[in-house]
Amino acid sequence: MGNIVILYDMEKIIGLIDAPFTPFDAEGNVNFEPIPAYAAMLAANGLKGVFINGSSGEGYMLTPEERMALAEKWVASVPEGFKVIVHVGSCCLKESARLAAHAQEIGAWGIGAMAPPFPKIGRVEELVKYCEAICSAAPELPFYYYHIPAFNGAYLSMVEFLKAVDGRIPNFAGIKYTYESLYEYNQCRLYKDGKFDMLHGQDETILPSLAQGGAQGGIGGTTNYNGRELVGIIEAWKNGDIETAREKQNFSQEVINVICNYRGNIVGGKRIMKLIGLDLGPNRVPFRNMTDEEEAAMKKELEAIGFFERCNRF
């Protein structure tokens, strides 16, 4: 078995994990200064951890050195018990393994990776081998596959993927499922009586997933600024208050409708952080940053739905 560590009774995540934005300064350099306040704000609003250097964090547009430095800063900045999961996916598998080993060395809670956008993975076995190589570099950490086929074209059956990894990758924990098929998500959740941790990855459908018995844990992007409402959906559901859960889910969809007018969460959502008091700077090229006029227009749309009375608080 070598240095492989088999993780028995792997912990399943309860609650919502945030996918934070990467702060940049005006020149486009990583700005580490806001991270302690960022971490404290997320924890205060009910989030249970962060999934850093992923799509919301513009991870593929960071150098390996930047990604490792960000991981170190987040691990050093979070309150006790707040999970740090490091996205280590890369088009270069050796780089992914290096990032995974680093995450283990610095005491991250876990790691994750999406399929690379190039070369496109078209077979389950290719994906398993990719994940297997990453997992072997950090055998002590739980690993989550980040299923987001809209970003990388890896439209593979996740049920078949679970069957293929089952018993093959000792530290495989589960999937961050960011895709529209609630049917497939639920089938994965039911696999072998819930053997794997299925983290719901779409903030717009938390409630229907709860109704199927899932969404005990999730990773979101709009949780950066709308975390209180998204956490509130789960709390209302647990309390049997379906009307409140439904209202909060519908409100959260209204917020998503607004950011869709401004190039989505990575661009529009990151600018919302400035509006609630935490300026995280611009996006990296080739993202097209919002203009001041667009920011003003987005603010008006958010005011019209009462967002600023319900958003995350510092």
User: How far is Cα of residue 208 from the mean position of the Cα atoms in its chain?
Assistant: 19
Of 1-5, 54-58, 127-131, 173-177, minimum mean pLDDT range? 1-5
pLDDT band at residue 3 under the 50/70/90 scheme: very low
pLDDT at 221: 98
Nearest alpha-carbon partner for 268 in 201, 222, 307: 222
Q: Tell me if residue 129 is catalytic.
A: no
Looking at the domain assignment, is residue 253 inside a domain?
no
Question: In DSSP terms, which residues pair with 114 in a beta bridge?
Answer: 146
Residue 187 CB burial class (10 angstroms; 0-12, 13-18, ≥19): middle
Question: Looking at the predicted structure, is the pLDDT value of residue 235 above 60?
Answer: yes
**What is the secondary structure of 78-98 as a DSSP string?**
SPTT-EEEEE---SSHHHHHH
Looking at the domain assignment, is residue 273 inside a domain?
no
Looking at the domain assignment, is residue 255 inside a domain?
no
Give the tokens for residue 237: 């559901």
Q: Provide the terminal-to-terminal Cα distance of the chain, rounded to the nearest Å.
A: 47
Q: What is the pLDDT of residues 146-186, one digit of tens each?
A: 999 999 999 999 999 999 999 999 999 999 999 999 999 99
Nearest alpha-carbon partner for 43 in 228, 308, 278: 228
pTM score = 0.96
Side-chain half-sphere of 61: how many Cα atoms within 13 Å? 17
Of 7-21, 38-52, 235-249, 283-297, minimum mean pLDDT range? 7-21
Selecting among 48, 176, 248, 270, the annotated active-site residue is 176
Selecting among 38, 146, 177, 185, the annotated active-site residue is 146
Task: Give buried/exposed letters for 282-312 (b at 16+ CB in 10 A, else e).
Answer: bbbeeeeebeeebbeebbebbeeeebeebbb
**CA torsion sign, 83 to 88 to 94 to 98?**
negative
Question: Looking at the predicted structure, is the pLDDT value of residue 4 above 50?
Answer: no
User: Considering its fold, how many domains does the chain have in total?
Assistant: 1
User: How far is Cα of residue 28 from the mean position of the Cα atoms in its chain?
Assistant: 22
pLDDT band at residue 215 under the 50/70/90 scheme: low
Looking at the domain assignment, is residue 263 inside a domain?
no
How much of the chain, in percent, has pLDDT values that exceed 90? 95
Give the domain CATH number at 23: 3.20.20.70
* Residue range 10-25: mean pLDDT, rounded: 96
pLDDT at 5: 45
Contacts of 59 (CB under 8 A, 6+ apart): 22, 52, 53, 67, 87, 89
Looking at the domain assignment, is residue 47 inside a domain?
yes
Question: Looking at the predicted structure, is the pLDDT value of residue 7 above 80?
Answer: no
CB 294 within 8 A of CB 264: no
Give the tokens for residue 43: 């924890």
- The per-residue pLDDT of the chain, averaged, comes to 96
> How far is residue 32's CA from residue 135's CA, in Å, rounded to a whole number?
28
Q: What is the pLDDT of residues 135-152, one digit of tens each?
A: 999 999 999 999 999 999
Looking at the domain assignment, is residue 227 inside a domain?
yes
CB 70 within 8 A of CB 52: yes
Q: What is the pLDDT of residues 241-283, one digit of tens each?
A: 999 999 999 999 999 999 999 999 999 999 999 999 999 999 9
pLDDT band at residue 216 under the 50/70/90 scheme: confident
> How far is residue 32's CA from residue 24's CA, in Å, rounded to a whole number?
8
Looking at the domain assignment, is residue 210 inside a domain?
yes
Looking at the domain assignment, is residue 135 inside a domain?
yes
Q: Tell me if residue 176 is catalytic.
A: yes
Task: Considering only the C-alpha atoms of the chain, give the largest distance between any 2 of them, rounded to a whole number of Å.
Answer: 59
Question: Looking at the predicted structure, is the pLDDT value of residue 2 above 70?
Answer: no
Side chain identity, residue 76: A
Range of the domain at 125: 15-241
